[in-house]
Each structure stands twice: as structure tokens, then as C-alpha cells.
């Protein structure tokens, strides 16, 4: 199923092994493996700078998570490529 709406993030939590647990405002929950992005320019810093990965933040529009001015992930990529987690 293709979703053309930009999904807004309700919360993001860093997990071990460079994964993110992300809850979306529509109730969806996913685990996104950031290791798959580690070869992209700039993303290596998440592994090389101690503690940076755990400092993930949600932007004001709730459509992106970021770590610094150079490293971010859009909500649509997380929504599309994250592994769905069953609801509680």
C-alpha cells in the first residue's frame, strides 16, 4: 500500500543497535534500522561520535527526526521502510 500523506511522528525513542522506535500520530508503530543508512555521507558520525545516536530529536513539524544540522531522516522514509510493530 502506498501512502501519499506525510506522516507526523508522535514520538521517537532510540533503541540498542542503532534502531529507532517511532510512534506516528495515525497510531502506527515501527522500528527503523538506521544501520542501513550508515554508509550515506554524514551518517557515519552516528557510530563514530559516542552518544550521538541517543540524542535523536523530533523537529517542530513532526515530519523529521534529526541528530544535528547534517543528519536527519524524514518521517515518510521511516514510515515506509520501518518494521511494523503490533499495537498494544
What's the confidence (pLDDT) of residue 1?
45
The whole-number average pLDDT for the span 36-49 is 88
For residue 3, what pLDDT band results from cuts at 50, 70 and 90?
A: low
Domains (range + CATH), the chain: 9-84 (3.30.2020.40)
Note every long-range contact of 25-28, with CB atoms under 8 Å and residues 24 or more positions apart, other chains counting.
25/62, 27/87, 28/79, 28/84
Q: What is the rounded average pLDDT for all residues in the chain?
A: 92
The whole-number average pLDDT for the span 33-60 is 92
Cα(49)–Cα(10) distance, rounded to whole angstroms? Answer: 27
The whole-number average pLDDT for the span 8-21 is 97
Given a cut of 80, whether residue 33 has pLDDT beyond it is yes
What's this model's pTM, rounded to 2 decimal places?
0.90
Amino acid at each position: 500500500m502506498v501512502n501519499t500523506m506525510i506522516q507526523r511522528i508522535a514520538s521517537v525513542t532510540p533503541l540498542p543497535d542503532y534502531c529507532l522506535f517511532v510512534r506516528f500520530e495515525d497510531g502506527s508503530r515501527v522500528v527503523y534500522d538506521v544501520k542501513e543508512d550508515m554508509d550515506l555521507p554524514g551518517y557515519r558520525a552516528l557510530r563514530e561520535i559516542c552518544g550521538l545516536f541517543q540524542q535523536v530529536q523530533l523537529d517542530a513539524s513532526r515530519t523529521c527526526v534529526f541528530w544535528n544540522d547534517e543528519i536527519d531522516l524524514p518521517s515518510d522514509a521511516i514510515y515506509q521502510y520501518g518494521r511494523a510493530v503490533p499495537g498494544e
